[in-house]
Amino acid sequence: MTEKTKGSADPKLLEILICPVSRSTLEYDAEAQELISNTAGLAYPIRDGIPILLADEAREINS
């Protein structure tokens, strides 16, 4: 089974994504399968290798 089929996101895609709320860069948390926006205090899920960049789908985090 390759990394892509395990549900990890494409690294090249992750480099160009930004937070839709704050327009800041995102940090990839491979273990949690999330993209973290420290500026907005949100964690966006990655499901089946697809980042879900919707504020309604994000969970709030404490910075």
Number of domains in the chain: 1
Closest CA to 37 of 20, 19, 63: 19
pLDDT digits 0-9 by tens, 4-52: 445 567 888 888 999 999 999 999 999 999 999 999 999 999 999 899 9
* Sequence-ordered list of residues with C-beta below 8 angstroms from that of 43, at least 6 positions apart, any chain: 29, 32, 34, 35, 36, 37, 58, 59, 60, 61
**Structural domain for 20, as ranges:** 4-60
Q: What is the pLDDT of residue 33?
A: 94
Interior angle at CA 58, CA 28 and CA 35, nearest 5: 5
pTM of the model: 0.82
CB 26 within 8 Å of CB 18: yes
Q: For residues 43 and 49, what is the distance between their CA atoms, to the nearest angstrom?
A: 15
In terms of pLDDT, which residue wins out, 28 or 2?
28
Q: What is the pLDDT of residue 61?
A: 96
Query: What CATH number corresponds to the domain at position 23?
Result: 2.20.25.10
pLDDT at 63 over 80: no
